[in-house]
Amino acid sequence: MSNQLFIEEDEDTNIVADPEINISPDHEEDPIIESIPIVLNDISSDQNNKFQVIQYPGRQKNRPLQGNFYKASVKTVTNFLEVKMPLDTTKFFNGHKIDDWGEDIGEQTLNGVLNKTEGGLYAAKIIKQDGHKKIVLVPIDSTAQLRASFKYIDDVDANNQAQRKAEATDTTKSTNIQILQTASKSGAQITHGDGFGNALGESLKHIKKFEEEEWAGLKWESADGTMATSIRQEAFLNAPDSELITESDLMSYVDDLTRS
């Protein structure tokens, strides 16, 4: 009974002091069993080829895009990418909605902003040449998340609202004056506000810029096409194997990293 009632004070001494039982041993005790060379091949500057990673949050990873019946367009200044994918209209598709929403619903519109990576992100591929494996890294310029856009529904709403407004302005002129007044007031508030006004102004400017920019159509090339094969060949398989050395050691490298 007594053993269970009281906690022995010297119990801690029973623990064997072996703190590194699960810790990885040092390099000497943990030899390298395989070493794969890493080759960096920055080809983005040579041509206008810019590597991008496109994420499709609404699409399972086991459903890759196949074929080349996709239409893509981009706004290069505002970095906006849009991809249109045809839908299977034979299943789960309400054809009558075309009357309301227009012909556009036959294809799904995905769009997103191309965000620059600021370096550090690479697409890697393991290749085997002459029996030697190597990992080839190619820097990625930007990433984009393409999400479904339902602009056609917004367009219908916008049209309805515009119609209603037009009807209202026709019937009463006094409301028209009121609208003008509120607009001028809110404009004054925007200019007086610190920071907020600027941010709003910037974003409005950006939207204006975006809307004014012309879409640049892109020709879709599938992964098994000749262009894709040649780029893969150039970027990964023909990556230069010349050895590079650096004079910086760990401390100076960490200094560089922290200074940036």
Partner 1 sequence: MSNRLESLNSKKAPSPAPKVALKFKPKVVPRKSKEERAKDAPIQVKEESSGRLPAGNGRGRGSGRGRGRGGRNNYAGTHLVSSGPLSSGSVSLGNASGSKLGFTKDRAYNTNSVSSTPEFIQNLRLKEGTSSKSPGISGNGNGNGNVADESDDDDDITKIDMTKQYRFNEEDTQLFPVRPERQDDQGVSAPASRESTPVKEEMIDDGAVAVAVDTPQPEVPAASAAAQSYPSNEEHDKLLTDHHHIVDLLADRMSELNTDNDQEDEEFILFQLPKILPQYQPKSTVKAEDPTQNDSPPSPHIHGHIGHFNIHQSGKVSINIGNDINLDVTNGAPTTFLQELIVLNVPETESVQSDPDVEMANEQGQKVKGNIIRLGKVDGKIIATPSFV
Helix (H) or strand (E) holding 114: strand 107-116
Looking at the Cβ atoms of 101 and 141, the one nearer to partner 1 is 141
Give the footprint of partner 1 on residues 63-102 (CB under 8 A). 63-65, 71-74, 76, 81
Provide the CA 208 distance to its chain's centre, in angstroms: 23
Task: Work out which of 13, 31, 131, 181 binds partner 1, going by CB under 8 A.
Answer: 31
Count Cβ atoms below 10 Å from residue 136 Cβ, excluding itself: 23
Looking at the Cβ atoms of 60 and 174, the one nearer to partner 1 is 60
Q: Based on the shown chain and the rule CB under 8 A, indicate whether residue 247 belongs to the binding site for partner 1.
A: yes
Q: Based on the shown chain and the rule CB under 8 A, indicate whether residue 131 belongs to the binding site for partner 1.
A: no
Q: Based on the shown chain and the rule CB under 8 A, indicate whether residue 61 belongs to the binding site for partner 1.
A: yes
Q: Based on the shown chain and the rule CB under 8 A, indicate whether residue 20 belongs to the binding site for partner 1.
A: yes
Question: What gap in Å lies between CA 238 and CA 169, rounded to an integer?
Answer: 67
Q: Based on the shown chain and the rule CB under 8 A, indicate whether residue 49 belongs to the binding site for partner 1.
A: yes
Looking at the Cβ atoms of 173 and 219, the one nearer to partner 1 is 219
Task: Work out which of 9, 10, 48, 166 binds partner 1, going by CB under 8 A.
Answer: 48
Rounded least distance, CB 214 to partner 1, Å: 8
Give the footprint of partner 1 on residues 202-231 (CB under 8 A). 214-225, 227-228, 231
Task: Work out which of 13, 174, 181, 242 binds partner 1, going by CB under 8 A.
Answer: 242
**Cα 72-159-146 angle, rounded to 5 deg:** 25
Binding part of the chain for partner 1, among 88-96, 118-126, 157-165, 171-179 by CB under 8 A, reads 118-126
- SS3 category, 120: coil
Looking at the Cβ atoms of 52 and 108, the one nearer to partner 1 is 52
Q: Based on the shown chain and the rule CB under 8 A, indicate whether residue 241 belongs to the binding site for partner 1.
A: yes
> Total residues contacting partner 1 (rule CB under 8 A)?
111
Q: Of 66, 69, 71, 73, which Cα lies nearest the Cα of 114?
A: 73
Rounded least distance, CB 252 to partner 1, Å: 8
Binding part of the chain for partner 1, among 14-22, 86-94, 167-175, 196-204 by CB under 8 A, reads 14-22
Give the footprint of partner 1 on residues 148-207 (CB under 8 A). none
**Phi/psi at 66 (5° precision):** -130, 150
Looking at the Cβ atoms of 69 and 196, the one nearer to partner 1 is 69
**Phi/psi at 88 (5° precision):** -80, 100
**Cα 208-211-110 angle, rounded to 5 deg:** 130
Q: Which long-range contacts (CB under 8 A, 24 or more apart) does 123-129 make?
A: 123/51, 123/53, 125/236, 126/36, 127/236, 127/237, 129/237
Q: Which long-range contacts (CB under 8 A, 24 or more apart) does 223-231 make?
A: 225/68, 231/49
Are 57 and 145 within 8 A, CB to CB? Answer: yes
